[in-house]
Amino acid sequence: MAMFTKILVANRGEIACRIFETAQKMRINTVAVYSDADAQSRHVRMADQAVHIGGSAASDSYLLGARIIQAALDTGAQAIHPGYGFLSENPDFAQAVADAGLVFVGPSPESIRKMGLKDEAKRLMEQAGVPVVPGYHGAEQEASFLAQEAEKIGYPVMIKARAGGGGKGMRLVEKPADFAAALASAASEGQASFGDSHVLIEKFITAPRHIEVQVFGDTHGNVVHLFERDCSLQRRHQKVIEEAPAPDMPLDVRDAMTTAAINAARQIDYVGAGTIEFIVDGSGPLRKDGFWFMEMNTRLQVEHPVTEEITGQDLVEWQLMVASGAPMPKAQDQLEISGHALEARIYAEDPRDQFKPTPGPLNVLQFGTGCRVETGVEAGDLVSPYYDPMIAKLVTHAPTRAQAIAQLDAGLKGTLCLGPKTNVDFLTALNGSEKFGAAQLDTGLIDRDLAQLVSYRPPSALALLTACVHLSGIDLTSPTLGWRQWGQGVQTFQLMHEDEIIALKLQFEENGQITVLTSDETIILDQIQSVDNQMTANEDGQKHQTLWARHGSSITVKTAGCQYDFTAFDALMQAGDDGQGSGQIRAPMTGTITSVLVKAGQEVTQDTPLVVVEAMKMEHVIKAPFDGVINEVFCTAGSAVDDGADLLVLSEAEE
């Protein structure tokens, strides 16, 4: 079979853009599909053709397999690449693509189905001689029986929804008294998320590391691995920073793990890109008897770029070649590891507010240099409330791990985003932490050190000066340094930052120094320079630098790995904002109301759930801030709301 001349990508965002880049390099025409919310998105702009497939919610567009297949047929596409997420691991969709006479760029429906349920996958792996975590993977689901199995396995245990993914339907149980409640919760979440309440129970590995092996198979009977990735830095079972190869990986352990991964792929006649994920005992040095099969992802992984960087291979190109019937371009003995690679996932979320998604317009977006950037958005685009809040992935590659960490540090510190809050400062702190630098990794690291990783540092004197200079138009390049024209040496400013007013004075000295006076401190800065979007100054003999970008009356300032967003204080706007304290309950984000739990006239107590808002595939419960009575309700279930929209009015209860 010849190489495709046109493919359709059944996805959106950065993965659709990533696939288009390789397709264009291979001179393959591309077709995008898009929802109402994505009509102006980057992946639509990149494609040769684009087909509208429905409403903004994924259930009305990207999950409608029949509509996507029809779009491929209508545009003359020969193959459909599913990307990851959405329909990428749906065996019924893969079968429907084949039935329509098209090629599914991925494994067979049978392979997807075999690995889709965790219990069946583990039984298959045991047959292939792949080590499996001790546990119960059977059909019996009666609560008392499962409790007995947990006792046999030995606490702590992990309950997992067998059809789960993304951390849903998973509960850690450390003692028998907590088992029943955790089982009910995991089963309920599995039913709600995947339509399957069936669970399995596994021994919980203390200090676990998450190491996965990239495998590839073709239709000519060849199966290879492209080494391993360490994905141990996780939050709520979601990967945050990934790297390849795994640090401190002994050669004999790598050989054992990659051999197990190839055996796993051969067990199900696997074709295409896949990942065998292992849970690894990280309590000491890695060993051959200290890793166990966890699950297989029958698709391209989010973190595939780190494997590409250390092997020099384009995995999307491999996928398209294999799907067209060609053999893989490299044999196992032609693959080798070169250097070290890291990937950090940048999200629109607020780490200091429990990582709440923060959809909204990207007024300014620029990335630090020295990194490979994988993104589906540009400045001026919108981070939609309907989908995953990823903005970009920064990828670095260097001869050593330490150098790759240094490159990622520079890339993150050079990244500016004005609009939604992001996790860039959190990633900078994590990448620069002593434990990560020493490769003291396990999946609990972030949770243990979270307070430190998200700790707030007040803006420095230079950050405040940068905001004042560029919001007020002070000219630091004039011979008189721009201030004598005012006939005075002191100017007073008020900035809004984090919903607080920062009052300060700038005192301009004849020698070019500027004294920054706030309510807390007095700082003298000298040798001040402003070139392009950078400012530098000396403080106590030490040189400091800021990056800045302005949009309208707002400015974002970056210094020492921390970003600060400022606006000039507007007293009239401030006076008109009565805030949440008045009892006006407002939407904390743009999203969809899924439940309204109260009605007008109802009495509630503090922390009573009032409204549930869904945004970016997560539900957020808004609770009563105090005891009171519901006066008015402005929202209804199913309605879309913007950030800050009025939801209801709560008045304090009369005593």
Residue type at 576? G
Q: How many CA atoms lie within 13 A of 26 on its CB side?
A: 24
φ, ψ of residue 628 to 5 degrees: the values are 180, -165
Catalytic residue, chosen from 299, 345, 448, 586, is 299
Give the pair of three-digit tokens for residue 357: 């998604």
Task: Give the integer Cα–Cα distance in Å for 377 and 340.
Answer: 27
Q: What is the C-alpha separation between 399 and 244, in angstroms, rounded?
A: 12
Contact assessment for residue 362 and residue 421, using Cβ atoms and an 8 Å cutoff? no
d(CA 246, CA 501): 46
Distance, C-alpha 341 to centroid of its chain:
18
Query: What sign has the CA pseudo-torsion 203, 204, 207, 213?
Result: positive
Secondary element (H or E) of residue 69: helix 65-75
At residue 31, φ and ψ (nearest 5 deg) are -125, 130
* 461, 516 Cβ separation under 8 angstroms: yes
- 539's tokens: 């403080």
- By CB atoms closer than 10 A (0-12, 13-18, 19+), residue 625 is middle
Phi and psi at 230, nearest 5°, equal -105, 120
User: Rounded distance, CA 616 to CA 592, Å?
Assistant: 10
- Answer yes or no: are the C-beta atoms of 599 and 576 closer than 8 Å: no
Contact 628, 582 (CB under 8 A): no
Which H/E stretch holds residue 341? strand 340-347
* 3-state SS assignment for residue 106: coil
For residue 229, which of 240, 244, 239, 216 has the smallest C-alpha distance? 244
Phi and psi (nearest 5°) for 350? -110, 100
Backbone angles phi, psi at 489, to 5 degrees: -100, 0
Sequence-ordered alpha helix ranges (H) in 196-250: none
Nearest CA to 343 out of 372, 300, 369, 364 is that of 372
**How large is the angle between the packed helices 315-323 and 13-25, nearest 10 degrees?**
70
The residue assigned the tokens 């199913």 is: 638
CA-to-CA distance for 582 and 613, rounded, in angstroms? Answer: 21
Query: What is the tally of helices (H) and strands (E) in the chain?
Result: 18, 39
Verify whether residue 209 is a known catalytic residue.
no
Name, in order, each residue with C-beta under 8 angstroms of 551's C-beta and a sequence gap of 6 or more.
363, 364, 418, 419
Q: What gap in Å lies between CA 12 and CA 42, rounded to an integer?
A: 9
Write phi, then psi, for 227 (nearest 5 degrees): 70, -170
DSSP string, 385-416: TTS--EEEEEEEEESSHHHHHHHHHHHHHT-E
Q: Which amino acid is at 550?
A: R
Give the catalytic positions in this structure: 299
